[in-house]
Amino acid sequence: MNKYTKIDTIFERDENGSKKLIEGKYKDETIEYLRNCEWICTEKIDGTNIGIVWDGHKVSFQGRTEKSNIPAHLVNKLNELFGGTVNEELFEQVFGEKEIILFGEGYGYKIQNGGNYIKDDCSFILFDVYIPSQDLWLKRDAIENIAKTFNIDCVPIILKGTLQDAVDYVKAKPKSTIGIADMEGLVCKPAIDMLDRTGKRLIVKVKVCDFE
């Protein structure tokens, strides 16, 4: 099973009881070094991590871990969006026999705080696409094109700027671009995909609740 990248916060937490983030004290030296570069920040959706797996022959669904149970009503929605002969033929047409994983968030009714996104239904929104055989994450334009091909939503870009811009944005407690929910936060990647010296992908989250 190919799990999605673990996304850390940008700052360390106070270890003396408050557990609050210590602004300016970065968890990762590479992130700190790149803090003033351009980062692409998309909305973080409050739902459950889902992978749509095309193994070259058939489609299957996975949760965040092998033990994750995907809610039945979400499974029904995923089958509606990606199941059946037509979608299978589309996967084959677009990707051939190459394994690929569409990573996204299952969200909506009875999923986390999703009732404020969709009152009486659920859905899937795409945020990343991974090719295991090449250990390759696709660029944003390719992700958007795949979303259009399968007629699904893609997480919106909220801002392009420094990490401080992202922090300032979430401190204003913005509303989500979806439904009537408050925004959970941002997920930020460098404008040019990068790895740190250990080979870890550079991606961080900036959550509203961490700055309240």
Instruction: State the burial class of residue 87 (Cβ atoms within 10 Å of its Cβ: 0-12, 13-18, 19+).
Output: middle
Mean pLDDT of 10-25: 90
DSSP assignments along 158-201, one per residue: EEEE-HHHHHHHHHT-PBPSSTTPBP-EEEEEESS--B-TTS-B
Per CATH, is 8-44+156-211 categorized as 1.10.10?
no
pLDDT at 212: 87
Of the candidates 108, 106, 115, the one whose C-alpha atom is nearest the C-alpha of residue 52 is: 106
Closest to 48 measured CA to CA, from 70, 66, 72: 70
Listed by start position, the domains of the chain span: 8-44+156-211, 48-154
18 compared with 203, residue with greater pLDDT: 203
Burial label, 120 (beta-carbon count in 10 A; 0-12, 13-18, 19+): exposed
Fold for domain 48-154?
A: D-amino Acid Aminotransferase; Chain A, domain 1 (3.30.470)
Residue where the block lists tokens 């009875």: 110
pLDDT at 136 over 80: yes
What's the alpha-carbon Rg for the chain, to the nearest Å? Answer: 18
Q: What is the pLDDT of residue 154?
A: 97
Helix (H) or strand (E) holding 73: helix 72-82
Q: How far apart are CA 3 and CA 50, in angstroms?
A: 10
Per-residue pLDDT at 98 exceeds 90:
yes
Entry field: residues in the chain: 212
Given this model, what pLDDT does residue 114 score? 66
At residue 54, does pLDDT exceed 70?
Answer: yes
